[in-house]
Amino acid sequence: MSTDTTGTAPARPLVMSDVAARAGVSHQTVSRVVNGHPNVAPRTRERVQQAIAELGYRPNAAARALVTGSSRTIGLITIDVDQYGPAQTMIGLEQAARAAGYSLSVAILDRAGGLTIAEAVDRFVAQSVDAVVVHTAELQALEALEQVDPPVPLVAVQMGGEGLGTTVTVGQEAGAQLAVDHLLGLGHATVHHLAGPSYSVEARRRIHGWRTALARAGAAPGELWLGDWWPSSGHAVGTELARRIRAGEQVTAVFAGNDQMALGLMVALHEQGITVPGDVSVVGFDDVPEAPYFSPPLTTVRQDFAELGRRGVELVLARLAGEDGGSDQVEPRLLVRGSTGPVHD
Amino acid sequence: MSTDTTGTAPARPLVMSDVAARAGVSHQTVSRVVNGHPNVAPRTRERVQQAIAELGYRPNAAARALVTGSSRTIGLITIDVDQYGPAQTMIGLEQAARAAGYSLSVAILDRAGGLTIAEAVDRFVAQSVDAVVVHTAELQALEALEQVDPPVPLVAVQMGGEGLGTTVTVGQEAGAQLAVDHLLGLGHATVHHLAGPSYSVEARRRIHGWRTALARAGAAPGELWLGDWWPSSGHAVGTELARRIRAGEQVTAVFAGNDQMALGLMVALHEQGITVPGDVSVVGFDDVPEAPYFSPPLTTVRQDFAELGRRGVELVLARLAGEDGGSDQVEPRLLVRGSTGPVHD
DNA sequence: GTCCAGCATGTTAGCGCTAACAAAGGTGGT
DNA sequence: ACCACCTTTGTTAGCGCTAACATGCTGGAC
């Protein structure tokens, strides 16, 4: 791919003075061209650029990082990238970062505690990253984060914490409200909630939004169950729920904390002879690509995960430019499909 | 998290000579301790380590990279991390890399061509990464890769290409064979295949495995359809297939190239009144976490994606240690669930 | 006791780059 | 014609670290 007029691959890596020699200038002039400094004569600039192209020269990032103190790298601390949402956010982040000339270094936390947030931040600082983005909704991580005071900007994405400075979040409360209002609008007396695990800040905020929306509408409080985001937990809750419905309890609407739990729930209800949306309406959260192909197709609240990542980078750049950046929020929206319908009595 | 007996956060970043001064030794001795060199007196070593701990010193990675030419970073070029498999592989890679003391820098290709493989490799080389791992099954990327000759080890993961040097792959042919044999064993006359897109090397290898398995068993050749990995393409094929079945065609077994297409296919068949596995048996590929909760639960071929990532790092380390490493393969296995059954006539 | 091996530690140079300063050349106002 | 000033280019120093070499010391062989 690289133009190489000499015909041979350079054994020794090229350095700035190789380019300088070829262009007949000093290495400093090459540096000025590479970094786009203004005071270079157009003809000189052109000659240097040609030498760079002919040689296929690339500046050494380590040397540059050493002298400038900046590596043009953003460190991303994330978790659960095997889930659709976090993966999408990472994609959004990487692309926005690259567009701004930064590369992305990634540390993946695991619940087993192989790496703590503080360690990850520490590693990134030693790596001279220019900023750290933390993408997690874990309460524990959030608490740990408050202890950390890195010498570089730190931006939190999808965490609902207070006192954390720069943060981008999805409007979880608004999303929950959308789901609840939709179900109440269909005539359901109340809405029950299958929430994500208690260590998740997102889950907590959805619970809060759900409670608030019910209260605001004057509906009876619903029941709360906790899952772990995965289909199996939805399945377990669904099995128990079906038993209670057959025993005569009135449960007609469930708002699940994510699509995967909604899936498990619907399958369990179906296995037990409860129909969706005939007997029970179900709303999910996320809008994973499979959601339209569940049986029935899932009504859900879409989060724009990639946008979250892009906004995260925007905040990073703002902080790097010395601005405050403040905090930002991405708004979710409701997609009505086949898993919700009016109450049948 | 860091011990800080001075009580104040250091404004100026700590350098090696700060530690040296505190421990009463030269900066070189500190360097020796940090790098675990043998010829340091135990008492001196201890004193230095204590100074490091007290000060919270971390060596500057850029300076080290500059002088050693190694950044202890592995560059990962990947694609489709929003799919379960690639995301899992990335997790496996990151954890294995971190365990070996390397950090991971990530570049995400997109089909829109925002970044080419050659550019990504180039960027990583300029970043002084110690090795590059490419994780993609795109034919185009594979071809581009053959043009690239980076000055660092390059390991390909999940690409079935030849002439690419060090490679880790999942045994796609073996996986396809498992699926076909299972279906033939249930009495199906032949097996049709809903494959992934033609730019995918994995898809091609599964097609090859499927053809071979049918031929080896003496079964009639099946029909081939191409999808794009996503549920919607499976749905389109399923709709057409149902029409033909109702028109009297004999189609009783389909092997789908991944679980998501199998999902779309099953939903379409169901919508058209064709039962699974009563009328048609379906086998998927991947074993995504949702697969047991499809209707019916999906029989599928599990790939151990995380293992793929770990093996990739093993090969990188072998190459870095000067060994050949050769190539490696991870074997898939069949999980029989509810979407396959005997033929009904 | 002498000598040299071998260990512990210090000193120096330099990785490739950018920042700061220095020098040379050109321009325009008077 | 002269000087002030700006533009262009070059020279030098140093970022924080490791490698290579230098030094001083201890201890066993003879």
Distance CA A80, CA B116 (A): 27
Let me know whether B286 and B323 are in one domain: no
Phi/psi at A98 (5° precision)? -60, -40
pLDDT in tens, B70-109: 889 999 999 888 888 899 999 999 999 999 989 999 999 8
Let me know whether A232 and A296 are in one domain: yes
pLDDT at A83: 84
Domain for residue A343, yes or no? no
Judging by DSSP bridges, how do beta strands B253-256 and B154-157 pair with one another? unpaired
Domain for residue B149, yes or no? yes
Shortest CA to C1' contact from A42: nucleotide:
D8
Contact call for residues B175 and B186 (beta carbons, < 8 A): no
Q: How many domains does chain A have?
A: 3
Place of tokens 């490419």: B134
* A231–B147 CB contact, under 8 Å: no
Let me know whether B280 and B184 are in one domain: yes
Task: For helices A201-216 and A139-147, give the axis angle rounded to 10 degrees.
Answer: 120
Chain-wide mean pLDDT for chain B? Answer: 88
Under the banding of pLDDT at 50, 70 and 90, the label for residue B161 is: low
pLDDT at A164: 60
Q: How far is CA A229 from CA A232, A294, A339, B27, in A?
A: 9, 17, 19, 51
Domain for residue B343, yes or no? no
Question: Considering only CA atoms, which of B299, B296, B229, B291 is closest in space to residue B269?
Answer: B296
* B128–A60 CB contact, under 8 Å: yes
Question: Considering only CA atoms, which of B308, B316, B328 is closest in space to residue B86?
Answer: B308
Question: Considering only CA atoms, which of A126, A176, A147 is closest in space to residue A300?
Answer: A176
Let me know whether B164 and B199 are in one domain: no
Let me know whether B149 and B222 are in one domain: no
Which stretches of A131-206 are assigned E, i.e. beta strand? 131-135, 154-157, 167-170, 192-195
Domain for residue B4, yes or no? no
Place of tokens 């993609």: B136
Place of tokens 């998290």: B1
Does residue A60 reach within 7 angstroms of strand C, measured from its CB?
yes
CATH number of the structural domain spanning residue B225? 3.40.50.2300
pLDDT at A12: 66
Q: With 90 as the cut, is the pLDDT of residue B171 above it? A: no
Distance CA B52, CA B262 (A): 56
Domain for residue A228, yes or no? yes
**Chain B closest-CA separation from residue A321 CA (Å):** 20
Which structural domain range is residue B29 located in?
Answer: 16-59
B122 interfaces chain A, CB cutoff of 8 Å: yes
Under the banding of pLDDT at 50, 70 and 90, the label for residue B21 is: very high
pLDDT at A6: 41
CATH number of the structural domain spanning residue A50? 1.10.260.40
Distance CA B295, CA B337 (A): 11
Which stretches of B85-182 are assigned E, i.e. beta strand? 103-108, 131-135, 154-157, 167-170
Average pLDDT value for residue range B55-72: 91
Can you say whether the dihedral through the CA atoms of B263, B264, B270, B276 is positive or negative?
Answer: negative
* A105–B106 CB contact, under 8 Å: yes
Residue A282, helix vs strand vs coil: strand
Closest CA in chain A for residue B150: A9
Chain B positions touching A110 (Cβ under 8 A) are 91, 95
Let me know whether B177 and B288 are in one domain: yes
* A126–B230 CB contact, under 8 Å: no
pLDDT at B8: 43
pLDDT at B12: 66
Q: Which of residues 131-150 of A touch B (CB under 8 A)?
A: 144, 147-149
Question: Considering only CA atoms, which of B176, B149, B145 is closest in space to residue B159?
Answer: B145
> What number of other Cβ atoms are within 10 A of residue A250's Cβ?
11
pLDDT in tens, B112-122: 766 788 888 88
As a whole number of Å, the CA-based R_g of chain B is: 26
Mean pLDDT by 10 residues, chain A (345 residues): 41 83 92 90 92 91 91 91 89 93 91 78 86 87 80 80 66 91 96 94 92 95 94 94 94 96 94 94 94 92 91 90 77 94 83
| Cα A181 from chain centroid (whole Å) | 26
Let me know whether A133 and A165 are in one domain: yes
Domain for residue A341, yes or no? no
Judging by DSSP bridges, how do beta strands A103-108 and B103-108 pair with one another? antiparallel
Question: Quick one: DSSP state of residue B280?
Answer: -
Contact call for residues B63 and B69 (beta carbons, < 8 A): no
pLDDT in tens, B29-59: 999 999 998 888 999 999 999 999 999 899 9
Let me know whether A233 and A89 are in one domain: no
Per-residue exposure over B65-89, b if at least 16 CB sit within 10 Å of its own CB, e if not: bbeeebbbbbbbbbbbbbbbbbbbb
Domain for residue B10, yes or no? no
Let me know whether A188 and A235 are in one domain: yes
Domain for residue B190, yes or no? yes
pLDDT in tens, B218-260: 999 999 999 999 999 999 999 999 999 999 999 999 999 999 9
Distance CA B66, CA A215 (A): 61
* B235–A293 CB contact, under 8 Å: yes
Under the banding of pLDDT at 50, 70 and 90, the label for residue B11 is: low
Average pLDDT value for residue range B201-218: 93
* Vertex A232: Cα angle to A276 and A269 (nearest 5): 20
Does residue A67 reach within 7 angstroms of strand C, measured from its CB?
yes
Distance CA B158, CA B90 (A): 12
Which stretches of B87-237 are assigned E, i.e. beta strand? 103-108, 131-135, 154-157, 167-170, 192-195, 224-226
Chain A positions touching B275 (Cβ under 8 A) are none
Q: With 80 as the cut, is the pLDDT of residue B195 above it? A: yes
Let me know whether B194 and B180 are in one domain: yes
pLDDT in tens, A269-320: 998 999 999 999 999 999 998 999 988 899 999 988 999 999 999 999 998 8
Question: Considering only CA atoms, which of A280, A286, A202 is closest in space to residue A238?
Answer: A280
Let me know whether A281 and A185 are in one domain: yes
Closest CA in chain B for residue A263: B293
Let me know whether A310 and A284 are in one domain: no
Share of chain B above pLDDT 90, in %: 60
pLDDT at B244: 95
